[in-house]
Amino acid sequence: MATMIIEGDRTKAASGKTYEVRNPATGDVVDEVPAGGPADVDKAAQAAAKAFTTWSRLPANKRAEVLHKASQHMLQKVEQIAPILTREQGKTILESRIEAQRFGENIAWFADLADKIHGEHVRLPDLTTYGLVVRKPIGVCGAIVPWNFPLTLAANKVAPAIAAGNTVVLKPASTTPLATLACIEALIEGGLPEGVVNVVLGQATGEAIVSHPLIRKIALTGSTPTGKKVMASAAEGLKKVTLELGGSDPCIVLDDADLEGAARAISVGRFFNCGQACLAVKRLYVQEGAYDALLEKLVARASKLKPGNGMDKDSRMGPMHTETQRAEVEAQVKDAVDRGAKVAHGAGRPQGGDYDKGWFIEPTILEDVPDGARMWTEEVFGPALPVRRIKDLDEGLRLANDSQFGLGSSIWTTSMAAAYRAVQEIEAGYTWVNALQIAHDELPFGGTKQSGFGKEHGVEAFLQYTEEKSVVYGGM
Ligand code: NAD
């Protein structure tokens, strides 16, 4: 049975309660897990607060050294961790390997910053005084993670937090705790001191983290409704919050675009991780002259994405993570079809044999989806893509911004002027121009509008795990 990681303890829930984690491809039980609650969060927060007193005072270059060593150790375990992730989440083993690798690399990337970010010296009008701006870690930080990219999204929070000298109480999604535990355990084996990152498990631990008085900052990746609840509850304790929430990323393809490159990026962008990505091409707007050729290429690519158990090397797309998620995407597709949309590919379930045991779904492309359909107005968190013909860039930009969300966006064109307008006018935290939607370590990532606020990745994320203090030295 898996256990929580609280300082030196590998512990069950205080209540003794447990629940089962099941494989989305087979329905089999992968492991039994403690169903933690407020008492466990309290223990973890106390442990993190204790560890903060030593971790935050470690010289920054030493902290960097510890984190590099720990990440190197963790990276040697990618081959052991990836199958755990596939079994609990459903994604293909290739996707799991990439994700586990990214976890270690993310820790190392922020370790590099640990001793490079500093405060400043400020001249004051009175020459017998001078000012300093000192940058300090915040304290204990809460990290709350969803199930779609359990490792990437945990690392996005844990890595900048601990590199800056904070300690963490981490809560994975209740359905995907196991690979996260393995990663944190590997960091500890590699030399990360006990108590710097504590992992609590179970649905009820999320709210307890947000309301715990010792936890000073909350970073959540999750749905927009959860983000609103977390922000309201965090307001009670005036905590800092970073909210990475839902998205419905538009992609505009103009007549002059490299259609092969666009088709590849859109296909990866929509179908990677069985479409369960915050940054995914979720609305496609194609100019008339490129429409037929691009659609043909997209359908050809989708037809090669064989759904299957993620552990099977021939599978190109795992199952959806839960039955509820699949039902939601199917309902969104049905809504579009009922309103008159035309199915260009998919829109069903692969059936028979092992397919009937898991939450499998076909990659789906729909044309002529009418205005007002759920696929345009809601986030589609699965492998289904609505495509619409547009007259020109103006129409594309208008439709791109006709959404409550503002996470990612992309444009394919060879016109510098068109690309420039998209960069200026699309309301989103990221715009890719003729490029695959990859969230780079070097660039700050985060949304606008109902997609949340605050940044992960980049120097900006590190800074958000620090507080500035002004100091005046007098009597010079
Ligand atoms: P979710 O909002 O249901 O849950 C996310 C996490 O929050 C889970 O660990 C959950 O247990 C916890 N939680 C739920 N209610 C809580 C509360 N009241 N207080 C504290 N914690 C609470 O999201 P999900 O279904 O697991 O994930 C899918 C959603 O996440 C999608 O909307 C997706 O777009 C979004 N997402 C966003 C990003 C991003 O970076 N913007 C990345 C990935 C996923």
DSSP 316-333: SB---S-HHHHHHHHHHH
CA of 445, closest atom in ligand 1: 40
pLDDT in tens, 241-264: 999 999 999 999 999 999 999 999
CA of 223, closest atom in ligand 1: 32
Residue 128 pLDDT exceeds 90: yes
Question: How much is the pLDDT for 104?
Answer: 98
pLDDT in tens, 282-335: 999 999 999 999 999 999 999 999 999 999 999 999 999 999 999 999 999 999
How far is the C-alpha of 132 from the C-alpha of 300, rounded, in Å?
A: 60
- Mean pLDDT across the chain, nearest whole number? 98
3 state SS of 137: strand
Question: How much is the pLDDT for 476?
Answer: 86
How far is the C-alpha of 147 from the C-alpha of 56, rounded, in Å?
A: 30
Question: How much is the pLDDT for 8?
Answer: 87
Give the closest residue (by CA) to ligand 1 atom 39.
Answer: 244
Give the closest residue (by CA) to ligand 1 atom 40.
Answer: 244
Mutate to test the pocket of ligand 1, among 278, 329, 332, 409 (most ligand atoms within 8 A of CB): 278
Q: Kindly indicate the confidence band of residue 206, based on its pLDDT and cuts at 50, 70 and 90.
A: very high
How close is the Cα of 246 to the center of ligand 1, in Å?
Answer: 8
How close is the Cα of 231 to the center of ligand 1, in Å?
Answer: 13
pLDDT in tens, 47-87: 999 999 999 999 999 999 999 999 999 999 999 999 999 99
Supply φ then ψ for residue 343, to 5 degrees: -85, 115
Give the closest residue (by CA) to ligand 1 atom 6.
Answer: 146
- What residues contact residue 34 under an 8 Å CB cut-off, 6+ apart? 1, 2, 3, 4, 11, 12, 13, 17, 18, 40, 201, 202
Question: How much is the pLDDT for 210?
Answer: 98
How close is the Cα of 276 to the center of ligand 1, in Å?
Answer: 12
Mutate to test the pocket of ligand 1, among 144, 248, 321 (most ligand atoms within 8 A of CB): 144
Q: Kindly indicate the confidence band of residue 168, based on its pLDDT and cuts at 50, 70 and 90.
A: very high
How close is the Cα of 116 to the center of ligand 1, in Å?
Answer: 32
List all residues whose CB is within 6 A of at least one atom of ligand 1: 144-149, 153, 171, 173-174, 203, 206-207, 210, 220-223, 226, 229-230, 244-247, 278, 379, 381, 407, 447, 451
| DSSP H helical ranges for 92-223 | 93-113, 150-163, 178-189, 205-211
Question: How much is the pLDDT for 361?
Answer: 98
Task: Average the pLDDT over 342-357 and give the result.
Answer: 97
How far is the C-alpha of 291 from the C-alpha of 400, rounded, in Å?
A: 17
User: Which residue bears the tokens 């992992």?
Assistant: 199
Give the closest residue (by CA) to ligand 1 atom 31.
Answer: 223
Give the closest residue (by CA) to ligand 1 atom 38.
Answer: 278
Residue 203 pLDDT exceeds 90: yes
How close is the Cα of 118 to the center of ligand 1, in Å?
Answer: 33
Mutate to test the pocket of ligand 1, among 19, 174, 223 (most ligand atoms within 8 A of CB): 223
Q: Kindly indicate the confidence band of residue 267, based on its pLDDT and cuts at 50, 70 and 90.
A: very high
CB-based contact 384:333 (threshold 8 Å):
yes
CA of 224, closest atom in ligand 1: 32
Residue ranges with strand state E in 327-474: 342-345, 364-367, 384-390, 405-406, 410-412, 432-433, 448-449, 452-453, 466-473
Name residue 405's amino acid. F
Give the closest residue (by CA) to ligand 1 atom 42.
Answer: 278
CB-based contact 1:31 (threshold 8 Å):
yes
* Residue 132, H or E segment: strand 130-137
How close is the Cα of 146 to the center of ligand 1, in Å?
Answer: 5
How close is the Cα of 382 to the center of ligand 1, in Å?
Answer: 15
User: Which residue bears the tokens 């989708």?
Assistant: 302
Q: Kindly indicate the confidence band of residue 375, based on its pLDDT and cuts at 50, 70 and 90.
A: very high
Give the closest residue (by CA) to ligand 1 atom 19.
Answer: 207
Q: Kindly indicate the confidence band of residue 42, based on its pLDDT and cuts at 50, 70 and 90.
A: very high
How close is the Cα of 223 to the center of ligand 1, in Å?
Answer: 5
User: Which residue bears the tokens 């039980």?
Assistant: 29
> What positions carry a catalytic annotation?
244, 278
Task: Average the pLDDT over 187-212 and give the result.
Answer: 98
Task: Average the pLDDT over 228-240 and give the result.
Answer: 98
Question: How much is the pLDDT for 149?
Answer: 98
3 state SS of 307: strand
Give the closest residue (by CA) to ligand 1 atom 34.
Answer: 246
CA of 447, closest atom in ligand 1: 41
